[in-house]
Protein backbone atom coordinates (compact mmCIF):
# COMPACT_ATOMS: atom_id res chain seq x y z
CA UNK A 1 0.00 0.00 0.00
CA UNK A 2 1.28 3.46 -0.93
CA UNK A 3 1.37 6.47 1.43
CA UNK A 4 -1.76 8.68 1.12
CA UNK A 5 0.00 11.50 -0.79
CA UNK A 6 1.33 9.06 -3.36
CA UNK A 7 -2.09 7.44 -3.72
CA UNK A 8 -3.63 10.86 -4.40
CA UNK A 9 -1.15 11.49 -7.23
CA UNK A 10 -1.69 7.99 -8.61
CA UNK A 11 -5.44 8.56 -8.49
CA UNK A 12 -4.98 11.83 -10.40
CA UNK A 13 -3.01 9.95 -13.05
CA UNK A 14 -5.69 7.27 -13.20
CA UNK A 15 -8.43 9.87 -13.64
CA UNK A 16 -6.49 11.69 -16.36
CA UNK A 17 -5.91 8.40 -18.20
CA UNK A 18 -9.62 7.63 -18.02
CA UNK A 19 -10.52 11.08 -19.34
CA UNK A 20 -8.04 10.66 -22.17
CA UNK A 21 -9.69 7.37 -23.05
CA UNK A 22 -13.17 8.93 -22.92
CA UNK A 23 -12.21 12.02 -24.91
CA UNK A 24 -10.68 10.00 -27.72
CA UNK A 25 -13.09 7.04 -27.86
CA UNK A 26 -14.34 6.70 -31.41
CA UNK A 27 -12.05 9.49 -32.63
CA UNK A 28 -9.51 9.21 -35.41
CA UNK A 29 -6.26 11.07 -35.84
CA UNK A 30 -7.96 13.26 -38.45
CA UNK A 31 -10.73 14.04 -35.95
CA UNK A 32 -8.08 14.96 -33.40
CA UNK A 33 -6.22 17.26 -35.80
CA UNK A 34 -9.44 19.00 -36.82
CA UNK A 35 -10.74 19.65 -33.30
CA UNK A 36 -8.90 22.32 -31.30
CA UNK A 37 -10.99 21.66 -28.20
CA UNK A 38 -10.16 17.95 -28.28
CA UNK A 39 -6.45 18.68 -28.74
CA UNK A 40 -6.53 21.10 -25.81
CA UNK A 41 -8.36 18.64 -23.59
CA UNK A 42 -5.97 15.80 -24.44
CA UNK A 43 -2.89 17.94 -23.91
CA UNK A 44 -4.24 19.16 -20.55
CA UNK A 45 -4.78 15.61 -19.30
CA UNK A 46 -1.26 14.64 -20.37
CA UNK A 47 0.03 17.67 -18.46
CA UNK A 48 -1.79 16.41 -15.36
CA UNK A 49 -0.35 12.92 -15.83
CA UNK A 50 3.20 14.25 -16.03
CA UNK A 51 2.86 16.66 -13.13
CA UNK A 52 1.19 14.12 -10.86
CA UNK A 53 3.85 11.55 -11.70
CA UNK A 54 6.62 14.05 -11.01
CA UNK A 55 5.12 14.84 -7.59
CA UNK A 56 4.55 11.15 -6.80
CA UNK A 57 8.19 10.38 -7.55
CA UNK A 58 9.32 13.13 -5.19
CA UNK A 59 7.29 11.55 -2.38
CA UNK A 60 8.10 7.94 -3.30
CA UNK A 61 11.21 7.66 -5.48
CA UNK A 62 10.88 3.86 -5.52
CA UNK A 63 8.01 4.27 -7.99
CA UNK A 64 10.63 4.66 -10.72
CA UNK A 65 10.81 0.87 -10.80
CA UNK A 66 7.02 0.59 -11.11
CA UNK A 67 6.25 3.12 -13.86
CA UNK A 68 7.93 2.40 -17.15
CA UNK A 69 9.07 5.44 -19.09
CA UNK A 70 8.58 7.73 -16.09
CA UNK A 71 11.29 10.09 -17.34
CA UNK A 72 9.74 10.28 -20.81
CA UNK A 73 6.29 10.92 -19.33
CA UNK A 74 7.59 13.87 -17.32
CA UNK A 75 9.62 15.16 -20.28
CA UNK A 76 6.48 14.95 -22.45
CA UNK A 77 4.58 17.04 -19.89
CA UNK A 78 7.40 19.60 -19.89
CA UNK A 79 7.34 19.76 -23.67
CA UNK A 80 3.58 20.30 -23.69
CA UNK A 81 3.88 23.12 -21.15
CA UNK A 82 7.08 24.85 -22.19
CA UNK A 83 7.38 23.87 -25.84
CA UNK A 84 3.72 24.28 -26.67
CA UNK A 85 4.46 25.98 -29.98
CA UNK A 86 6.29 22.88 -31.21
CA UNK A 87 3.83 20.20 -30.09
CA UNK A 88 3.30 17.72 -32.92
CA UNK A 89 -0.22 16.30 -33.16
CA UNK A 90 1.08 12.98 -34.48
CA UNK A 91 3.35 12.57 -31.46
CA UNK A 92 0.50 13.23 -29.01
CA UNK A 93 -1.77 10.81 -30.87
CA UNK A 94 1.02 8.23 -30.96
CA UNK A 95 1.43 8.43 -27.18
CA UNK A 96 -2.32 7.91 -26.82
CA UNK A 97 -2.29 4.84 -29.03
CA UNK A 98 0.98 3.24 -27.90
CA UNK A 99 1.58 4.18 -24.28
CA UNK A 100 -1.60 5.17 -22.47
CA UNK A 101 -2.91 1.67 -21.78
CA UNK A 102 0.42 0.56 -20.28
CA UNK A 103 0.54 3.52 -17.91
CA UNK A 104 -3.10 3.07 -16.92
CA UNK A 105 -2.51 -0.62 -16.12
CA UNK A 106 0.60 0.17 -14.06
CA UNK A 107 -1.28 2.78 -12.05
CA UNK A 108 -4.24 0.45 -11.47
CA UNK A 109 -1.82 -2.18 -10.17
CA UNK A 110 -0.15 0.34 -7.83
CA UNK A 111 -3.55 1.36 -6.51
CA UNK A 112 -4.30 -2.29 -5.83
CA UNK A 113 -6.91 -2.70 -8.54
CA UNK A 114 -7.07 -5.53 -11.03
CA UNK A 115 -5.46 -4.38 -14.28
CA UNK A 116 -7.87 -4.53 -17.18
CA UNK A 117 -6.98 -4.52 -20.84
CA UNK A 118 -6.64 -0.90 -21.95
pTM of the full structure: 0.90
- With contact defined as beta carbons under 8 Å apart, do 45 and 76 qualify? no
Confidence of residue 118 (pLDDT cuts 50, 70, 90): very low
What is the structure's pLDDT at 2?
59
pLDDT in tens, 36-92: 999 999 999 999 999 999 999 999 999 999 999 999 999 999 999 999 889 999 999
**pLDDT above 70 for 3:** no
**pLDDT above 70 for 116:** no
Q: Any idea where the domains of the chain sit in the sequence?
A: 4-110
Q: How far is it, in rounded angstroms, from Cα 112 to Cα 40?
A: 31
Amino acid sequence: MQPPDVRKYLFDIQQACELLRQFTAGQTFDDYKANAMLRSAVERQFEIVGEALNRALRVAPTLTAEISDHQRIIAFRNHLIHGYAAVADDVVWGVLEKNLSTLAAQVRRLLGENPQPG
